Amino acid sequence: MQTNLADWIKDTPEGREADAILRKCVHCGFCLATCPTYNLLGDELDSPRGRIYLMKQVLEGAPVSVKTQVHLDRCLTCRACETTCPSGVQYGRLVDIGRGLVEKKVPRGFAEGASRALLRFAFLSGPLFAFGVALGRAFRPLLPAALARQVPPRRVAGEWPAARHPRRMIVLDGCVQPTLAPDINAATARVLDRLGISLVRVPQAGCCGAIEHHLNAQEAALDRVRRQIDAWWPHLEAGAEAVVVTASGCGTMVQDYGHLLAHDPAYAQKAARVTALAKDVGEVVAAERAALAKLLAGKPAVAGPIAYHAPCSLQHGLKQKGIVEGVLREAGFTLTAVPDSHVCCGSAGTYSILQPELSHRLLANKVKALESGNPAELCTSNIGCLLHIESGAARPMSHWIELLDRRLA
């Protein structure tokens, strides 16, 4: 694609990056077939190619309207288009740049701005968020059915093994996961403990920055990333082997730290090291296959089949397709076939709240696909997908590491 970027952007790091990405796109349209919003809405401007065209116009200095913002807001950032694109167009990076520019040029109305600010505050408020969830659970029986389904049931973390192994890794706690599903990281700690690795929590660390990043508060997100690195750094210097991430949505954000802070002289090197050490829990367990096989020796196969939902952040963002499925099969689980497994479930960070209509349509399709093989249980790799699918599914839903923890117990 030929480009002619406007003077105000062309010599900036963002401008140069966006220009290189735009030039790779050859308008072939292969990406349209796997774009969830294009498949639902049938509008070229809700496809990757259409959005790339809109962002090109912004970068070339054309007037920007609410229409551009609406089409960019509707994008799930699922990055299925990246997986499909034969030219290697890094759509995810481009849409981050495009959204940031449009946000500055098209002010949001009061109600929309306030609801976005409220979302940031609610998700990042720690104890206040926990109090709100506890309140929702207490009054669940009194809530209308549609709202009650959005309140996740209480999950019990169980024991976190004491750090007893020379091999250590640190874990990303995250913002909402400790309140909504403390069992996920505790199950990870138990599984890794059996594999000879101690998993250590870092209380000073919290949200990875993805909430602010999703909501286009990009400076606030960068500040949070720096604080996260500061909290982890002493542990990495002391020999922690990896930063284990159990929510693949957060994993894509942490994998991006090196890129996001590449132009910050004080943090560029540290951020690059964190990126190199960030690992999805599936990758960590898969690397310990031999030890896992010993723990599983002699155990009979699991009775009921399960269906696994591969989050977009894992398969399209982190490009780790098939790793978790391989570990589960080796652990004795039978996985049912899931049609259209490349398509987003509609959770996508804060998307389910900001775009409820599209999100519900994607959820209904995903639940139908996951339950089509009549599995006994469902599982996934990301807290957002887990809670979203659980709200619409008839079967129990877990993080896959919890299934493995139960299997090894």
Q: Give the residues lining the site for ligand SF4 (CB under 6 A).
A: 25-31, 35-37, 48-49, 51-52, 75-81, 85, 87, 89, 91
Nearest CB to ligand SF4, comparing residues 15 and 36: 36
Type of residue numbered 332: G
Nearest CB to ligand SF4, comparing residues 188 and 365: 365
Q: For residue 400, give the nearest of 312, 319, 306 by alpha carbon.
A: 306
As measured in angstroms, the least distance from the Cβ of 85 to ligand SF4 is 3
201: β partners: 171
Nearest CB to ligand SF4, comparing residues 388 and 399: 388
As measured in angstroms, the least distance from the Cβ of 87 to ligand SF4 is 4
| Contact (CB, 8 A) for 174 and 207 | yes
Nearest CB to ligand SF4, comparing residues 32 and 222: 32
Q: How far apart are CA 300 and CA 262, in angstroms?
A: 49
As measured in angstroms, the least distance from the Cβ of 180 to ligand SF4 is 25
191: β partners: none
- List all residues 6 or more positions away from 156 whose beta carbon is below 8 Å from its beta carbon: 182, 183
DSSP of 290-338 = HHHHHHHTTPPPPSS-EEEE--HIIIIIS--TTHHHHHHHHTTPPBPP-
As measured in angstroms, the least distance from the Cβ of 388 to ligand SF4 is 16
Q: How far apart are CA 24 and CA 132, in angstroms?
A: 46
Q: How far apart are CA 401 and CA 408, in angstroms?
A: 10
Which residue matches tokens 């306030």? 114
Nearest CB to ligand SF4, comparing residues 23 and 406: 23
Q: Where are the alpha helices (DSSP H) in 47-90?
A: 48-59, 66-74, 80-84
Nearest CB to ligand SF4, comparing residues 33 and 409: 33
Nearest CB to ligand SF4, comparing residues 40 and 122: 40
As measured in angstroms, the least distance from the Cβ of 47 to ligand SF4 is 6
Q: How far apart are CA 397 and CA 378, in angstroms?
A: 5
As measured in angstroms, the least distance from the Cβ of 48 to ligand SF4 is 4
Nearest CB to ligand SF4, comparing residues 26 and 134: 26
Nearest CB to ligand SF4, comparing residues 77 and 398: 77
As measured in angstroms, the least distance from the Cβ of 93 to ligand SF4 is 11
As measured in angstroms, the least distance from the Cβ of 387 to ligand SF4 is 20
Q: What is the dihedral of CA 162, 189, 223, 248, to 10 degrees?
A: 180
Which residue matches tokens 């499909």? 84
Nearest CB to ligand SF4, comparing residues 50 and 392: 50
As measured in angstroms, the least distance from the Cβ of 72 to ligand SF4 is 9
Using the 8-state DSSP alphabet, how is residue 142 labeled?
G
Strand order in the sheet with 168-171: 198-201, 168-171, 243-245, 278-280
Nearest CB to ligand SF4, comparing residues 35 and 180: 35
As measured in angstroms, the least distance from the Cβ of 39 to ligand SF4 is 9
Q: How far apart are CA 359 and CA 349, in angstroms?
A: 11
As measured in angstroms, the least distance from the Cβ of 380 to ligand SF4 is 18
The interaxial angle of helices 91-105 and 66-74, nearest 10 deg, is 140
DSSP of 193-218 = HHTT-EEEE-TT----SHHHHHTT-H
